[in-house]
Amino acid sequence: MQDERLFTPDFKTQPYWWDAARPGIGAPAQIPTKVDVCIIGGGFTGLSCALELARDGTSCAVLDSKRIGQGASSRNGGLVSGALKHAESSLVGHVGEERAMQLMREAAGTLQFLDDLITREGIECDFARVGRFSCAWSRKHYDSMARSAEKTAMLTGEPAYMVPQNHQRDEIGSDYFFGGQVSEGAATIHPGKYVAGLADAAQRAGAQLLGQTHMKGMTRTAQGWLVETDRGVIEAERVMLGTNGYTGRETPWFRRRLVPVASFLVATEELPEGLAQELVPNARGLADSRRVLNYFRLSPDHKRVLWGGRVGTHAMDARQSGLRLHKTMCRVWPQLKDVRISHSWNGNVAFTLDFIPHLGAHEGVHYALGCQGSGVAMQSWMGTQAARTMLRGNSQSAFAGLDFPAQPGYGGNPWFLPLILQWYRLRDQIDRRLQ
């Protein structure tokens, strides 16, 4: 099939999720002049923070330069787990054994937190505890997963077990991997519906949501803050930053501590009868164990495949990224070589320099940032924790108060990412070949 024929006639360069839930909250008729808390960033972090504050009766406003929810929160793959993206050994190296265990426990608990939040607020977002199949890219990766299965089960309280290569067709219609690990506690979600539902819940509780309102700067005063926006100034006692992969030059201290990385996704057209069931028999979320990983799943109606990966480091033409993803997808599932792409899009995630999400306050600015591309449950939890910290005056989260490292010479422009991506790809190839 020729390249251009790989796209459907109604091909869209926007998230598949927006077909059912397009971010809708734009510019307000007018902005409030005074609130208790002004939150910058209208994704999972900012909205969950606003929801928690508003439920307490604290007045708050959430600003987003784009429509509310239009950042990564309505662009992601909707795979939900409570895993920390950090090898346990290096986590221990950073924070010591006891804190590492607290962080992993808290991260695992974010999944149940999300489940409870969705139930409490009655958010209809196709949340399904279908489990995750982590596909082993090499035999060595399989062995290392086998060593972690018991701990995954212990942390999540749900079964986690290995599926050897000769049985992997029970989990994925492909012979490409070397078996893998099932963790039954994990889930999938419709992120577009979730972020819209979270916005509704926050509004119902009394939060003000201001889309298309850009924070240009923040000035500290004796009473709190003056938040300057392109629609006027808001006076606030406190401010909270939930800008993650879109953190800009307005907040340079934070920008120096975050590495924005693009991630790319495609949705296929509807598959022929029976094919979805053959590809993902148990409808679990899937991801491989590469450093430059791919993540994939069925759409909530089980009619399409959604396939994501890091096929570049910066935003690129959606057809170009779509073709690259299609190629990787067909290596795993040659059955899809004639199946066309209906949607292709990207968004930014934020990595931190120690690969740990960070929660705290710097010079009076509260923040919850840096979930290394795994933020559906984690950032919802972190936003809530930021609110609780403001309400109680202290934090009970193990993520709070950790040293938030910067790298001398790095100001927020990740020019080195293409080199790192190449290096990681090379190491992935070495892992696969030398086994």
Ligand X SMILES: Cc1cc2nc3c(=O)[nH]c(=O)nc-3n(C[C@H](O)[C@H](O)[C@H](O)COP(=O)(O)OP(=O)(O)OC[C@H]3O[C@@H](n4cnc5c(N)ncnc54)[C@H](O)[C@@H]3O)c2cc1C
Min separation Cβ 165 and ligand X, Å = 25
- Angle of CA points 288, 290, 294, to nearest 5°: 50
Q: Would you say 43 or 185 has its CB closer to ligand X? A: 43
Q: Which two tokens stand for residue 170?
A: 């029970």
User: Is 337 strand, coil or helix?
Assistant: coil
Strand 225-229 vs strand 215-220: parallel, antiparallel, or unpaired?
A: antiparallel
* Binding of ligand X by 258 (CB under 6 A): no
- Longest Cα separation, the chain: 67
* Binding of ligand X by 309 (CB under 6 A): no
Give the helix ranges, DSSP H, for 353-398.
376-392
Min separation Cβ 48 and ligand X, Å = 8
- For residue 116, count CB atoms less than 10 angstroms from its CB and return exposed for 0-12, middle for 13-18, buried for 19 or more: exposed
Q: How far is CA 364 from CA 14, 216, 232, 296, 394, in A?
A: 36, 17, 22, 40, 13
Residue 381 identity (one-letter amino acid): W
Q: Which two tokens stand for residue 289?
A: 């164990």
* Binding of ligand X by 375 (CB under 6 A): yes
Q: What are the backbone angles phi and psi of residue 198, rounded to the nearest 5°? A: -65, -40
Which region among 88-96, 115-123, 352-360, 367-375 touches ligand X (by CB under 6 A)? 367-375
Q: Which two tokens stand for residue 383?
A: 């936003």
Residue whose token pair is 């990787």: 328
Q: Would you say 138 or 251 has its CB closer to ligand X? A: 251
Q: Would you say 162 or 234 has its CB closer to ligand X? A: 234
* Binding of ligand X by 23 (CB under 6 A): no
Residue whose token pair is 């309102």: 213
Site for ligand X in 330-349 (CB under 6 A): 346-349
Helix (H) or strand (E) holding 366: strand 365-369
Which region among 38-46, 143-151, 275-283, 323-331 touches ligand X (by CB under 6 A)? 38-46
Q: Would you say 18 or 139 has its CB closer to ligand X? A: 18
Min separation Cβ 232 and ligand X, Å = 14
Which region among 126-134, 146-154, 175-183, 236-244 touches ligand X (by CB under 6 A)? 236-244
Map residues 41-80 to x or -, x wherever contact with ligand X holds by CB under 6 A. Answer: xxxxxx----------------xxxx---xxxx-xxxxxx
Q: Are 247 and 254 in contact (CB under 8 A)?
A: yes
Q: Would you say 14 or 165 has its CB closer to ligand X? A: 14
Number of residues that bind ligand X (CB under 6 A): 44
Q: Would you say 242 or 322 has its CB closer to ligand X? A: 242
* Binding of ligand X by 214 (CB under 6 A): yes
Map residues 81-120 to x or -, x wherever contact with ligand X holds by CB under 6 A. Answer: ----------------------------------------
* Binding of ligand X by 11 (CB under 6 A): no
Encode 290-325: b = buried (16+ Cβ within 10 Å), e = exposed.
bebbbbbbbbbeeebbbbbbbbbbeeeebbebbbbb
Residue positions counted in the chain: 435
Map residues 136-175 to x or -, x wherever contact with ligand X holds by CB under 6 A. Answer: ----------------------------------------
Q: Which residues bind ligand X (CB under 6 A)?
A: 40-46, 63-66, 70-73, 75-80, 214-215, 242-246, 248, 250, 263, 265, 295, 308, 346-349, 371, 373-376, 379
